[in-house]
Amino acid sequence: MFASILHSLQHATLPDLADILLVAVIIYNLALLIRDTRAYQMAIGLFIIGLLFFITQRTQLTVTYWLIRNFIPYLIIAIIVLFQDEIRSFLAGLGSRWLRRPMAFTALRQKLGEVFQAVDYLSQKKIGALIAVEKEVSLNGFLETGTRIDANLTKELLVSLFFPHSPLHDGAVIIQSNKVTAAACLLPLPSVKTLGEAFKTRTRHLAALGLSQETDAAVIVVSEESGEVSLATRGKLHKVPNKEDLEDRLIHYLQR
């Protein structure tokens, strides 16, 4: 087996190497997609099934091989059903990476201080807030659910948008590059409608979790009951104890 692999590598052509590189890129992106998600355990199970298929074929375990071979077509359908959210996120992220503006994060980085100051103020005053920060996957599809703003990102603007009784205080603010693009936007709710006892299953937290499952956006939540700040990324929601921790988590995530 190893001799045949070595022989293939010695006689590999440029298209063969390009083919190998393309497969490696696809596998790498799939690994990034399922990392730290529920799909990771499922991927391990699929790998074990594939390994068993290879072993039973080589060792001539006829009955087991026949069983696995006939199960594979149904397994493909099951993968599409179970991984539909991950597949949608992968395709959206793959398309957006080719169109990513290299200067977008640089422009946002210069204005992130305004976001941190606004969140800190809102947290101290216990004013509820929901702020979605675009990464690579476009959030344009959610802009029409709210009111277009297209204004420079400032602490004062963010605070005024979420101030109680403000016409735009309900819903989410969407930040793209260094602009507040829209306010009072509706975000998708997750398929699993529970956050655990730590978050008391509030609508803002559910909306933040839902958007982070469908896109690669980072979503900041300020609880109006306790003033606690949370950050949702890649389908997971974490409480943020202070302004410095929020800054570290958000910048580290956005620049990856």
| The pLDDT value given to residue 58 | 80
What are 175's strand-pairing partners?
Answer: 133, 180
Query: What whole-number distance in Å separates Cα of residue 21 and Cα of residue 238?
Result: 36
| The pLDDT value given to residue 8 | 61
> Hey, which CATH number is domain 104-254, 3.40.50.2020, 3.40.1700.10, 3.40.250.10, 1.10.630.10?
3.40.1700.10
Report CA torsion sign: 103, 105, 107, 109: negative
Query: What whole-number distance in Å separates Cα of residue 129 and Cα of residue 186?
Result: 13
What are 147's strand-pairing partners?
Answer: 183
Query: What whole-number distance in Å separates Cα of residue 209 and Cα of residue 92?
Result: 17
Per-residue pLDDT of the chain (256 residues; tens, 9 = 90+): 455 655 565 666 777 777 778 888 777 766 666 555 556 666 677 777 778 878 887 887 888 778 878 877 777 777 677 666 666 655 655 555 544 455 556 677 788 889 999 999 999 999 999 999 998 888 888 998 999 999 999 999 999 999 988 889 889 999 998 899 999 999 988 865 555 555 555 788 899 998 998 888 999 999 988 899 999 998 888 999 888 899 999 999 888 7
Interior/surface letters 65-97, b for 16+ CB within 10 angstroms, e for the rest: beebeeeeeeeeeebeeebebbeebbebbeebe
Query: What whole-number distance in Å separates Cα of residue 225 and Cα of residue 229?
Result: 11
| The pLDDT value given to residue 148 | 94
What 3-state DSSP class applies to 229?
A: strand
Q: What is the DSSP letter of 131?
A: E
Query: What whole-number distance in Å separates Cα of residue 132 and Cα of residue 146?
Result: 13
| The pLDDT value given to residue 33 | 60
| The pLDDT value given to residue 190 | 81
| The pLDDT value given to residue 189 | 83
Q: How far is CA 82 from the centre of its chain?
A: 17
Query: What whole-number distance in Å separates Cα of residue 242 and Cα of residue 222?
Result: 12
| The pLDDT value given to residue 67 | 82
The full DSSP string for 133-165 is E--SS--HHHHTTSEEEEEE--HHHHHHHHSTT
| The pLDDT value given to residue 122 | 95
Query: What whole-number distance in Å separates Cα of residue 189 and Cα of residue 212?
Result: 10
Please state the domain extents for the chain. Answer: 2-98, 104-254
CB 133 within 8 A of CB 231: no
Q: How far is CA 159 from the centre of its chain?
A: 26
